[in-house]
Amino acid sequence: MPTLLLAEGAGWRIEIIGKLPDLPPFITATPQTAIVIEGLVTLEVFDRATGILRPVTSGAAIEPLFFEAVAYDIHFERLDLSAKLALPVGAEVRRVRADSEHHILNFGNNVGFADVVASTATSRARLQIEVFSRKADFRTDYVAMRDEVSGMLRNLAMAANARTYGLAAPAKEHNPTLVEWLALIESHFGDFFKLANAIARNPHSGLVKKSTLVATERARRVTRQTLGRALRRDNGGAVIPSLGVALPRKISESVSSITFDTSANRYYKALIKETYRNIRTLSRTDASGDEDANHSAEAKFFESIRPRLKAMERQVEVILRAPFLGQVADADLARPDSMVLHKHPLYSRFDKLCRLLNGGLSFAGDIVPIGMKETSLLYEYWCFLKIVSLLRARFDLAEQSVVSYKRLRMTVALKKGKQSAMRFVHKPTGADMFLVYNRLFTKLPTIAQQPDNVIQFASAERFYIFDAKYRIQFDSDYVKQYGGPGPTTDDVNTMHRYRDAIAIPHPMKTGAWKAGSVIGAVALFPYTDEAAYRSHKFFNSIKQVEIGGLPFLPGATTLVAEKISAILDCEYPELAATPTESSS
């Protein structure tokens, strides 16, 4: 195996040795990367074209050197005995001596940036390297999957609250980011600030009546009831001879004054403070709490967004200093029964917008923050949510257990190892269908099975399995035998196992099992050339035995969409005679 990287600094030397895998054939243009250097370091990297090391400088464009699921040997030599080496999480120590160390590092399915740090008593140097995917185009497919998951989760979350559903669709210019709530606040903060400012300049007010004692000769707003009470009592005033009564020296005058302490303004203040708390929470966050995320990449992400969040904080603080809010009492987020929130053009729009913003995904609990995940897990999430999207083109989403709604907060729970179910219904016919993520088939006669995505039809006895497999095989022997890159043979064998092993209890015979419940099983794998794959052996095997594989990536969803349509036409023939409905 070649030496991929050789770095030398004051008192130390690092050598990284590893396999340089072939790039997938569907990546037509070789991506470029760079190694960023901090400190005094001389660096040489492996050149694919010449097969030797060549010197490079910080930030210079080079071909990718490091990939997921590849083991690397890292040798560290100390010329200065105080030199220390810090490697990314997951590195395993093989040997430590006074003058050298040997580590093994495998990034698993993690992609993104990683740091290698060497330091002595007097200096510190850092190398930032980039880890690429071996199965998807990291520059396009990975980013597209991450952003599509973010967008689909938003639409699903907003669909759970019909009153804000109209605001759920991302604007055309909106670019989803890594954390869902940040995507919402960044997309709509301009509108939030304009509306809040407009209300602060011309807030809604109410009238409050209060009584005050004034000299009788100066009173102007005295009711008959007040005057009558004053004349009937011994008020100590001088008697007017012509009237025979005594007028009081002072009398209670009713005065109406303007107040801003209304229920609508208390709610407005609570919404601003809640949004402010959320922004401050995110600006002080260093990790999403997602157990599957790349924590180093997450830390860099949160560091990069912090300046924007701080700027938002300052703008919201300006609103909170509006003079009229000093007269408004603090209140909770309970929405008052006020016509102002329905009729007033500014307050009603602000109410709806804040329900969207503060209904974003929470940062705690059973959530799926879209961080820098392992590509295999992100692929599972994307496959499930994309199938949901495809099914909603023919069915309405009736029930789901992925999104829960409580007051103004949405929580998305798509937990690894736990099933999440979606119930769809075709309203014209009443036909039901279910999509279940990570369903576990237990108590089988053999071994429990847990495919990723199971489409369960209305009979509850027939299933079709789409199993997300973040693996693709493209070696020359495989391509020659099967007709191009495709799912691994092991994954296709797993589809056979699912169909043979998954059974349901027999409805009539106790202790007996009914086989044949799985009518087909397909491995979903990352590949973009759908046209070429139509001639693949494992594509044609689906037509013959309902076992095989289908490519599935952003921009390559046609074959899966066609298969889902064919399954629905076969299992629900009554739908063919009924006009389809679309649910976005």
Neighbour count for residue 45 (Cβ, 10 Å):
20
Q: What integer best gives the mean pLDDT of the chain? A: 76
Domain boundaries, the chain: 3-134, 162-202+262-357, 206-259, 375-576
Q: What are phi and psi of 71, to 5 degrees?
A: -90, 135
Residue bearing the bigger pLDDT, 404 or 536: 536
Which of 61-70, 323-332, 414-423, 524-533 is the least confident region?
A: 414-423
Which residue has 């990069």 as its token pair?
304
Asked whether residue 186 carries a pLDDT value surpassing 80, the answer given is no
pLDDT tens-digit series, residues 255-281: 677 888 888 899 899 888 988 887 887
With CA atoms as reference, report the closest residue to 454 among 495, 413, 490, 493: 495
DSSP 8-state class, residue 140: I
Q: Which residue has the higher pLDDT, 455 or 93?
A: 93
Q: Regarding predicted confidence, which is higher, 419 or 39?
A: 39
Mean pLDDT of 184-191: 76
What angle (nearest 5°) sits at the alpha carbon of residue 566, between those of residues 500 and 549? Answer: 50
> Model pTM?
0.56
| Each residue's pLDDT tens digit, 17-61 | 999 887 776 666 677 888 989 988 899 999 988 889 999 999 898
Average pLDDT over residues 189-215: 83
Over residues 76-105, the mean pLDDT reads 91
Q: In this predicted structure, what is the pLDDT of residue 395?
A: 83
Q: What is the pLDDT of residue 584?
A: 31
Give the range among 278-287, 482-491, 542-551 with minimum mean pLDDT.
Answer: 278-287
- pLDDT of amino acid 318: 92
Residue 14 has pLDDT above 90, yes or no: yes
Spatial separation of the C-alpha atoms in residues 396 and 443, rounded to whole Å: 32
State how far the Cα of 361 lies from the Cα of 414, in Å rounded to an integer. 12
- Starting at the earlier edge strand, list the strands of the sheet with 53-56: 53-56, 41-46, 3-9, 12-18, 71-78, 100-106, 92-96
Position 409 pLDDT exceeds 90: no
Query: In whole angstroms, how far apart are CA 182 and each of 67, 276, 369?
Result: 29, 13, 11
